[in-house]
């Protein structure tokens, strides 16, 4: 093999890798979008089913035609932002995509009006393939304001509500914190000091938490004013847009309903004991009486170094999927074979990991920085799960039906992590290895399901307080945060006093039009644990069910997907299965003590 196995090959995405030809194709994307606008603008309101079908199909053809070239530029840049050609192409791709999106923005607005006036179009047999896509637009339609008002909101938001988000982010990223490390005082930016939270050194973890939150608390007046204003703006806008509750906008965006979220959250509140049981077990493994907040995501002491080469990692991940289904295993292996994964560590590479769906190629590309740690193998398995989702979804669905919302997006990926867990557990050599693997998956489960639920409860309580007319200053917001947090953790964790300022640093709370963003994470995590439990119960007969679910893309709502598995997800029994899956893992961990 002459090519580096760990560097991806992006060439299948473009006919030619010549930057000039790529730029030309990007420009032709804008020209084509403008042509569509010139042809259809102002006309959609008079469409019947057949002409609507033609428009939607054309929109999908447009997506498939230009998706690859844009993807090529963005991926090239994320792999190496220091490369001059990548910089230039990335900029060109961003600029032209924005212009194309602007040119096509009228479609959804006109479509919303058309459907609001002719709702029967949604169930017209001619449009059957687009049924759920249209249902979602129809659900949003009554809350749209006039075109002039919508445009005014965009202009006013730019220097209004969006400025708070910018302030929060700029403020946080320009703070520095002094901390003593190995006898030397270091001044670290926020992005760096938070890395110490996961340090194996107990004292360093404590001091880094203390210094960060103590300092954030000093600026409480800024955080409180920002969060209050963002929430009040949302309350006002919800009323103007005639949403019955502050949560409705988010429910529509996530394609779910209130009953589902209520049953999910009831299940969480009923199972806080289970989480607290895990935390007490972890305390034992850490050799302390009770966990401190800075131990929650800490590694276990003397966790064994488990190192993997690239080919070893490939084998672990492929085998884990192969064990579930041979065809899926082959696809996962093909991602390596065709070099669709960039695992190499290099300067200028985007941090973290992602999987980019390649719809036209019915495949995907994965980026990660592989350092050979167990966590890297998990990341690889996670992103491969997204790739499997893309393989199945892009074969079965048109692009309009493959806009996966956050409640479903992690189905393939988290399921893959559980497959890997089982695979790794089956061949551990020592008790310590077993504990490290279980703690890794249970820490993640605990954070995504329970810790995030504290944020759900907190956000809810803020709107309730506002609607009661309470004024929320920093201390009042902190009180709501602590109350929500304690509902989840009870007395299983000791919190530093300054942790009452934990809400100040979450950028999402300050993002405009992004309220109630937390429950989708909870839903996504517990959904997959439930699916895994069903797999354990049903064995091989579950395999085609999961494949169908992934192949459905966004053509069905989570509730419909649950129904196809034979479950009503508004019923707590469905979610309890996910808790049962977690409990089984906790039981295995307990037996190692």
- Burial (CB < 10 A; 0-12, 13-18, 19+), residue 268, is buried
Query: Nearer to Zn ion by C-beta: 355 or 478?
Result: 355
> Per CB under 5 A, which region of 51-59, 65-73, 363-371, 410-418 contacts Zn ion?
410-418
User: Is 22 or 528 the residue whose CB approaches Zn ion more closely?
Assistant: 528
Grouping H, G, I as helix, E, B as strand and the rest as coil, residue 116 is helix
**Which residues inside 426-445 make contact with Zn ion, applying CB under 5 A?**
none
Nearer to Zn ion, 414 or 492 (CB): 414
Task: For residue 39, give both structure tokens.
Answer: 């042809």
Please report how close the Cβ of residue 416 comes to Zn ion at its closest, in angstroms.
Answer: 10
Kindly indicate which of the ranges 295-303, 411-419, 452-460, 510-518 contains the residues binding Zn ion, using the contact rule CB under 5 A. 411-419
* Residue nearer to Zn ion on the CB measure, 384 or 413: 413
Nearest-approach distance from CB 111 to Zn ion, in angstroms: 30
Report the C-alpha gap between 207 and 181 in whole angstroms. 10
Choices 67-75, 121-129, 405-413, 530-538 (CB under 5 A): range interacting with Zn ion: 405-413
- Give the count of alpha carbons within 13 A of 156, CB side only: 8
> Binding of Zn ion at residue 414 (CB under 5 A)?
no
Q: Which of 70, 413, 492, 518 binds Zn ion (CB under 5 A)?
A: 413
Q: Near Zn ion by CB under 5 A, which window of 37-45, 150-158, 171-179, 408-416?
A: 408-416
Pick the stretch among 129-137, 202-210, 406-414, 580-588 that binds Zn ion (CB under 5 A).
Answer: 406-414
Instruction: Between 103 and 367, name the residue whose CB sits nearer to Zn ion.
Output: 367
Mapped onto helix, strand or coil, the DSSP state of residue 244 is coil
What CA–CA distances, in Å, run from 410 to 71, 362, 440, 494? 21, 18, 17, 31
What minimum distance in Å lies between the beta carbon of 355 and Zn ion? 7
Strands (E), 312-469: 341-342, 354-358, 363-367
Residues 266 and 483: their CA atoms lie apart, in Å, by 17
Shortest reach from residue 524's CB to Zn ion, in Å: 9
Give per-residue burial for 158-187: e unless 16+ CB within 10 Å, then b.
Answer: eeebbebbeebeebbeebebebeeeeeeee
d(CA 292, CA 476): 24
Nearer to Zn ion, 413 or 504 (CB): 413
Range 531-534 contact pairs with CB under 8 angstroms and sequence separation of 24 or more: 531/411, 531/415, 531/565, 532/415, 532/418, 532/581, 533/577, 533/578, 533/580, 533/581, 534/565, 534/577
Q: By CB under 5 A, tell whether 555 contacts Zn ion.
A: no
CB of 394 to Zn ion, least distance (A): 17
Of residues 226 and 441, the one with the C-beta less far from Zn ion: 441
Distance CA 584, CA 590 (A): 10
Residues touching Zn ion: how many (CB under 5 A)? 1
**Shortest-Cβ-distance residue relative to Zn ion:** 413
Tokens found for residue 296 = 């929650």
Nearer to Zn ion, 364 or 442 (CB): 364
Give the residues lining the site for Zn ion (CB under 5 A): 413
């Amino acid at each position: 093999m002459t090519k580096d196995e760990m560097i991806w090959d992006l060439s299948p995405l473009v006919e030619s890798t010549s930057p000039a030809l790529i730029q030309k194709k990007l420009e032709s994307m804008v020209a084509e979008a403008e042509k569509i606008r010139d042809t259809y603008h102002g006309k959609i309101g008079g469409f019947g089913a057949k002409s609507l079908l033609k428009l939607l199909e054309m929109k999908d053809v447009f997506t498939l035609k230009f998706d690859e070239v844009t993807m090529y530029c963005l991926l090239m840049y994320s792999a190496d932002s220091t490369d001059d050609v990548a910089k230039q192409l990335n900029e060109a791709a961003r600029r032209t995509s924005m212009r194309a999106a602007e040119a096509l923005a009228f479609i959804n607005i006109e479509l919303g009006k058309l459907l609001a006036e002719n709702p029967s179009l949604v169930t017209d047999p001619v449009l059957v393939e687009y049924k759920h896509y249209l249902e979602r637009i129809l659900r949003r339609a009554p809350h749209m304001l006039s075109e002039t008002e919508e445009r005014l909101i965009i202009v006013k938001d730019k220097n209004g509500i969006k400025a708070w988000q910018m302030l929060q982010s700029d403020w946080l990223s320009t703070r520095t914190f002094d901390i003593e490390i190995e006898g030397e005082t270091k001044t670290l930016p926020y992005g760096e000091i938070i890395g110490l939270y996961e340090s194996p050194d107990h004292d360093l973890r404590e001091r880094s938490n203390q210094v960060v939150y103590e300092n954030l608390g000093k600026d409480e007046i800024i955080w409180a004013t920002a969060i209050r204003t963002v929430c009040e703006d949302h309350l006002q806008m919800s009323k103007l847009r005639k949403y019955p509750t502050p949560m409705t906008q988010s429910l529509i965006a996530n394609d779910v309903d209130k009953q589902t979220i209520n049953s999910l959250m009831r299940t969480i509140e009923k199972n806080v004991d289970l989480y607290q049981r895990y935390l007490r077990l972890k305390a034992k493994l850490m050799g302390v009486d009770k966990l401190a907040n800075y131990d929650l995501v800490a590694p276990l002491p003397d966790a064994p170094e488990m190192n993997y080469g690239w080919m070893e990692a490939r084998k672990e991940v492929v085998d884990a999927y192969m064990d579930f289904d041979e065809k899926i295993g082959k696809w996962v292996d093909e991602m390596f074979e065709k070099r669709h994964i960039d695992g190499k560590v290099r300067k200028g590479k985007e941090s973290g990991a992602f999987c980019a769906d390649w719809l036209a190629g019915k495949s995907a590309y994965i980026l990660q920085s592989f350092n050979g740690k167990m966590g890297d193998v998990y990341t690889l398995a996670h992103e491969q799960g997204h790739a499997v989702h893309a393989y199945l979804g892009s074969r079965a669905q048109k692009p309009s039906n493959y806009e996966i919302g956050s409640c479903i997006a992690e189905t393939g990926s988290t399921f893959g992590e559980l497959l890997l867990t089982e695979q790794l557990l089956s061949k551990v050599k020592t008790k310590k290895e077993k504990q490290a693997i279980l703690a890794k998956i249970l820490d993640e489960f605990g954070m995504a399901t329970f810790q995030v639920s504290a944020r759900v409860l907190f956000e809810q309580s803020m709107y309730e307080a506002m609607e009661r007319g309470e004024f929320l200053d920093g201390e009042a917001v902190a009180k709501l945060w602590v109350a929500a947090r304690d509902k989840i953790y009870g007395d299983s964790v000791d919190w530093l006093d300054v942790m009452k300022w934990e809400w100040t640093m979450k950028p999402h709370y300050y993002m405009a039009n992004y309220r109630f963003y937390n429950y989708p994470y909870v839903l996504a995590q517990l959904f997959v644990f439930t699916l895994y439990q069903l797999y354990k119960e049903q064995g091989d007969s579950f395999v085609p069910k999961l494949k169908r679910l992934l192949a459905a893309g966004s053509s069905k709502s989570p509730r419909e997907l649950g129904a196809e598995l034979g479950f009503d997800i508004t019923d707590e029994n469905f979610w309890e299965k996910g808790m049962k899956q977690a409990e089984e893992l906790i039981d295995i961990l307990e037996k190692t003590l």
